[in-house]
Structure 1
Amino acid sequence: MTIDNLPLLKIVNIVSNVASQRYNANRVIRLLMIGKEYALEHQDQELAAHISYLQEAVEIHSNYFCAFSLLQQNEFYEAWCKLEEVEKGLLFFQSRQKDRPDYWDEFLVSGKYKFIEEHVSRWQELFPYELYLSPGMIYKQNCSICNNVINPRKPCGHNDGEIYNGEFRERLLSDIRYDHIALVNKPANKFCVVFPISEFDEVTNGYNKSMDIYDYSLVKGVISCLTDPFQAWDYSVRKIERDSDYFESIGVGENDSCPCGSEKKYVNCCMNLTITGLRYEVYLNRS
């Protein structure tokens, strides 16, 4: 696909320069919606497809900025969910390589999408989440374009991920019934983090609130050093060993919690042992 529509080209340039100038995402989204309406009125499927790609691109930027802001506010799970939305958006772009507009590779570079991909992955690696819920379900599927039931023996004629009238074809689920839930450590859906629930509430006669018991110190340490969503950073991890002399020097007493994390008293755990741990070293680009 090539592009020769000047108003649309202006929007492409605005979005692609996101790292150097913060555009008004809501305004650009409104302009894109107007442009899509125009394309559909004139039956310009190619222009509608261009706009659909740009809508996805703006959504990635918007979610990435939102995730960074939530991290600064210590809203960690909410930030995690936004990072997951960014990851899914980037995966969509990767899956559509053969149909991307001809300017798209340059657009992804200027729009900092490679940067976003790398740093979303780094943020996710620093989060303490290890277990997730993976629900098994029975459901019906309908085509988002024609609303017909999707049947392998009788396809509706629309293909997953293709653009029709400016909309990506998706599978819409209905009549969802859950039949089991599994605990996994490598989920397809990273939103379903396991949180313990609070104590029984006699007022509501039930358990009504989850507790966030996770240690976000690594994430807090990095976000406290950053001033801009596009400030580059990386980290390394190495093993370190600490003996009793070291812990005595930093004030760990016999009756304090053991530094190994066992929650036992130091004297009853590792007081006469060497403790092996991990040291995270973060590198910032201050240019």
Structure 2
Amino acid sequence: MTANKLNCAESDNETGAKRWALLEMIYTAQNNYLRVFKLLADKDYYVAWCVLERIEIAIKTILRHYTFIDDEYKILFIQEYVTKLQRLFPYKLFASSEFVKKEVRCSICNNIISLRNRCGHRKGEFYKGEHCSHLITNAEILAIAIVEKPFNKYSVANVTGKDNDPYCYPLIDYLLSIIDHPFNEWDTRESKILENHALYTAGRNDKCPCGSKLKYKKCCLKKAGVELPHTDFILRQPTVNTFGKIPTNKKLLVFGGKA
């Protein structure tokens, strides 16, 4: 693909160079999607999360320029399941940087971009098979805030990699135990379940085990059990990994269910 792109660029075939560049991006997105599942199987969750973000960004560019017929490259499928996978991660807080851009350059011609000076290349377009972006080459950080909806999803609070990760990933681990390959179709359904009070040692005036931050006596102690979030996994088709599997009280497999 790279050779074809370069040949088109050298012959000033902008349409051909752009098409090969997009096919190259599609191929990279497909391979990154497969890589995510290898990383998850290796318990390298944070790196997998970062790769999911890169796929998400790449697909936004691809869909701006490429029209799919019956999703022949599975890009629309990947876009849907990247979002579903991201929802299974426990990350809630992110670091968001506030900074001043002192110098921005065009990735095509390397000229400095400012409000008064433009190089003529349009951000997001392709030129001889190369995607135009604006590169921040000099910046000053003013502040860092903790937010729930970040611009950069890679900036997860309290985790930097596999060896520095205080989070637990039960939903992801369970998903990997029931699917056969990355292109299985699945969905989730959120609900609440009640777990027996006998499973908990919290005192009446302690914080409720459900995580509400209220006192136990003012929260779940009044109920038939401790109310906890519950996730059902719905598979469109049974998989080899679920053959003969008996659902437990923690997860439910609904074969043939719809999202």
What 5-or-longer segments of structure 1 have no aligned partner?
1-31, 198-208
2:77 aligned residue (115, 119, 129): 115
Contact preservation (8 Å) 1:72, 1:224: no
Q: Distance in 2 between matches of 1:150 and 1:186?
A: 28
Distance 1:41 1:255, change over 3 A: closer
Corresponding residue for residue 227 of structure 2: 276
Q: Which moved more, 1:185-194 or 1:146-155?
A: 146-155
Deviations 1:112-144 (A, max 9, x none): 112111111111111100000111122211111
Q: Distance in 1 between matches of 2:156 and 2:221?
A: 37
Q: Distance in 1 between matches of 2:38 and 2:117?
A: 46
Look up the equivalent residue of 1:83 and give its one-letter code: L
Q: Quote the offset at 1:47 in angstroms.
A: 1.1
Query: Kindly, what percent of the aligned residue pairs are identical?
Result: 30
Normalising by structure 1, we get a TM-score of: 0.72
Q: Distance in 1 between matches of 2:181 and 2:207?
A: 37
Contact preservation (8 Å) 2:41, 2:176: yes
Corresponding residue for residue 47 of structure 1: 16
SS in 1 for 2:149: coil
SS in 2 for 1:176: strand
Distance 1:196 1:65, change over 3 A: closer
Corresponding residue for residue 158 of structure 1: 121
Distance 1:255 1:179, change over 3 A: closer
Runs of 4+ aligned residues of structure 1 deviating over 3 Å after TM superposition are 253-259, 267-273
Contact preservation (8 Å) 1:36, 1:48: yes
Distance 1:150 1:255, change over 3 A: closer
Contact preservation (8 Å) 2:25, 2:58: yes
Give the root-mean-square deviation of aligned CA atoms. 2.8
Q: Distance in 2 between matches of 1:189 and 1:234?
A: 25
Contact preservation (8 Å) 2:18, 2:129: yes
Normalising by structure 2, we get a TM-score of: 0.79
Deviations 1:70-96 (A, max 9, x none): 1111111111111111111112223x2
Q: Distance in 2 between matches of 1:258 and 1:222?
A: 31
1:180 aligned residue (143, 166, 176): 143
Look up the equivalent residue of 1:238 and give its one-letter code: S
Q: Distance in 2 between matches of 1:72 and 1:259?
A: 33
The structure that is helix-richer by fraction is 1
What 5-or-longer segments of structure 2 have no aligned partner?
240-259
